[in-house]
Amino acid sequence: MQNKVLKHFQSLKEQALSDRGSSSAARKMTAREMCNKLMDPGTFVEINMFVKHRCTDFGMENKGALGDSVVTGYGNILERPVFVYAQDFSVLGGSLGLAHAKKIWHIMDLAAKAGAPIVGLCDSAGARIQEGTDALAGYGGIFLRNTRYSGVIPQITAIMGICAGGAVYSPAITDFIYIVKDACMFITGPGVVKEVMGEDVSMAQLGGADIHTRVSGNADFLVDSPEECIGQIRKLLTYIPQNNREKPLQVDFRNPINSGLDIADIVPDDPRQPLNVHQLINALVDNGDFYEVKADYAKNIVVGFAHFAGQSVGILANQPEFMAGVLDSNSSDKAARFVRLCDAFNIPLVTLVDVPGYLPGTQEEYKGIIRHGAKLLYAYSEATVPKITVILRKAYGGAYIGMCSKHLGADLVLSWPTAEIAVMGPEGAVNVIFKKTISSSSNPDETKRKLIQDYQDKFANPYDACFKQHVDDVIEPGETRTRIISALNMLKDKLEDLHWRKHGNIPL
């Protein structure tokens, strides 16, 4: 009798492991193979392998597979627990019915209880139409958990194939989205767009990887293959903690603390020449290793992760090589979301400032630069993690305030001697303040040159701000790394309690 039971179990298990549709050439790894590849070797444990959908409408009783169209389980990455679900396009197009959804609900709930990251490998045509409102209920339960666990455990999504409809809303709520270069995501596919809008558009034009990493900003990372995607997710987890109660891991590093890196070659002699902030970041951080987020979107600001003496930090830096480093609607959104993510997961913030202001003009005003720009003010003001700011060169107007000034709660503000901190640039300020003086002068050009020089003498340096305690110290550029590490050590046990509230109301 026992033999019969075991044989039946073995038969079911073999069926569950093999009862999959064939994977297409574009999908070189099966869902189960991706889960195993993601985890440390031999640690992936699959659960809910024997689940079956219960739909009997439209001939569905004869379709599907054991486990339905998603593989779920847990394992270790870098010897720490991580939970995963991988949708299987080879089974009913990876479509989501109630059984599929409940498997994801369960693995998300387990991740939250264990205080561990959840990774979703998405490859789904969307809601299973044959299941009607059950499919919609399934998505609702996922969205609820995405939201309730936001800021509690890290949530990482990878778009591995063609994802449509409800399948793209869950990723949008998660912390990070990877997209493979041949993958797509959209609310409605080209067929529906053609029928409803009369617009001819390909899948790549509508929701391809390039569109979402460069134009819409919906995705954070573009990768060439599923294998690269999995490797990049594993790397990301070296920068972020397991949950909101922990700090990131301390990692090994090669650069000595007093490396004295020569930054002079990076900084142009002419303050009007753009500084390549990527070169500066690489010179400052451990091993020159910077993990950039949203690298191709809103390139006038750079955000990402790095280590200083083995400690994980989030870096935000204006990029003068793109749009002169101004803040606009998209860069404000990008920066604000990154600040809030770091604050949620106890990752200190290092801000490198070289900003001429907010982008003027009707286009930005109509896009809502007021409310978008306010998001960054809100995010920095709300953040309670250690906040270290280094003013490199220009720091003008509201953008100076918005880039984590002392006035928004920066714990330590350092400045290079090249810093210019003022309401606006010299020429613009003189035109406003001395308009009548210049126009009534016998030699307007000479008068204007003199007034500009006077303004520069006062504000084209950081000392006025130092006198007024808006800046804590002026440092040589070569000291920057050492001083950041010193500040991080000084602030490692920072504790800041804010007023109790249910939650704030961030500008949208």
User: Under a CB-based contact definition with an 8 Å cutoff, are residues 319 and 335 in contact?
Assistant: no
Q: For the segment 49-98, what is each residue's pLDDT rounded down to a tens digit?
A: 888 877 767 777 777 778 899 999 999 999 999 999 999 988 988 889 99
User: Under a CB-based contact definition with an 8 Å cutoff, are residues 127 and 169 in contact?
Assistant: no
Same domain as 316, residue 364: yes
pLDDT score for 10:
78
pLDDT score for 270:
77
Query: What's the token pair of residue 377?
Result: 């003010």
Long-range CB contact pairs, 260-264, < 8 A, 24+ = 260/478, 260/482, 261/478, 261/481, 262/478, 263/477, 263/478, 263/480, 264/477, 264/478
pLDDT score for 301:
98
pLDDT score for 253:
78
The reply to whether 197 falls in a domain is: yes
The reply to whether 262 falls in a domain is: no
Amino acid code (one letter) for 464 = D
Same domain as 135, residue 75: yes
The reply to whether 496 falls in a domain is: no
End-to-end CA, the chain: 65
User: Under a CB-based contact definition with an 8 Å cutoff, are residues 275 and 268 in contact?
Assistant: yes
Same domain as 382, residue 413: yes
Regions of the chain with pLDDT less than 70:
1-2, 19-28, 56, 255-261
Same domain as 155, residue 166: yes
Contacts of 435 (CB under 8 A, 6+ apart): none
The reply to whether 506 falls in a domain is: no
The reply to whether 495 falls in a domain is: no
CA 357 to the chain's CA centroid: 23
Nearest alpha-carbon partner for 281 in 27, 3, 484, 90: 484
- Annotated catalytic residues are 165-166, 398-399
pLDDT score for 24:
41
Same domain as 27, residue 89: yes
Same domain as 134, residue 104: yes
pLDDT score for 265:
79
Same domain as 212, residue 96: yes
What is the Cα–Cα distance from 103 to 344, expressed in whole angstroms? Answer: 27
pLDDT score for 1:
54
User: Under a CB-based contact definition with an 8 Å cutoff, are residues 456 and 466 in contact?
Assistant: no
Same domain as 211, residue 106: yes
Q: Number of structural domains, the chain? A: 3
Same domain as 214, residue 286: no
pLDDT score for 229:
97
Same domain as 393, residue 436: no
Range of the domain at 435: 424-459
- Bridge partners of 181, per DSSP, are none
Last residue of a domain, one of 236, 262, 293: 236
The reply to whether 266 falls in a domain is: no
Same domain as 378, residue 467: yes
User: Under a CB-based contact definition with an 8 Å cutoff, are residues 409 and 372 in contact?
Assistant: no
Q: For the segment 424-435, what is each residue's pLDDT rounded down to a tens digit?
A: 888 888 888 888
Same domain as 222, residue 284: no
What is the Cα–Cα distance from 59 to 48, expressed in whole angstroms? Answer: 24
Phi-psi region of 474 (alpha: psi -120 to 50; beta: other; left: phi over 0): beta
The reply to whether 408 falls in a domain is: yes
Domain of 349, CATH number, reads 3.90.226.10
What is the Cα–Cα distance from 336 to 355, expressed in whole angstroms? Answer: 16
